[in-house]
Amino acid sequence: MSQEIDSKLVKQLRERTNAGMMDCKKALSEANGDIEQAELILRKKGIASAGKKEGRIAKEGLVHSYIHLAGRVGVLVEVNCETDFVAKTDSFKDFVKDITLHIAAAAPLYVSRDQVSESVVATEKEIAAAQVEGKPSNVIDKIVLGKIEKFYSTVCLLDQPFIKDPGKTIGELLKTKIAELGENIIIRRFARFVLGEGTEF
List the chain residues with pLDDT less than 50. Answer: 1-3, 201
Q: What is the pLDDT of residue 154?
A: 94
Q: What is the pLDDT of residue 10?
A: 85
Superfamily of domain 60-112+156-194 in CATH is: Elongation factor Ts, dimerisation domain (3.30.479.20)
Q: What is the pLDDT of residue 63?
A: 95
Q: pTM of this prediction?
A: 0.68
Q: Residue 166: which residues within 8 A CB-CB, separation 6 or more?
A: none
> In angstroms, rounded to a whole number, what is the distance separating the alpha carbons of residues 81 and 62?
8
Q: What is the pLDDT of residue 80?
A: 95
> In angstroms, rounded to a whole number, what is the distance separating the alpha carbons of residues 89 and 93?
6
2, 156, 161, 193, 194 from 198: Cα distances, Å: 56, 21, 27, 10, 9
pLDDT in tens, 21-58: 788 888 888 888 888 888 888 877 766 555 555 556 67
Rg, Å, the chain Cα set: 19
Angle at 85 between CA 163 and CA 168, to 5 degrees: 20
- Residue pair 157/187 in contact by the 8 Å Cβ criterion: yes
**According to CATH, what is the number of the domain 7-48?**
1.10.8.10
Q: What is the pLDDT of residue 2?
A: 40
Q: What is the pLDDT of residue 133?
A: 77
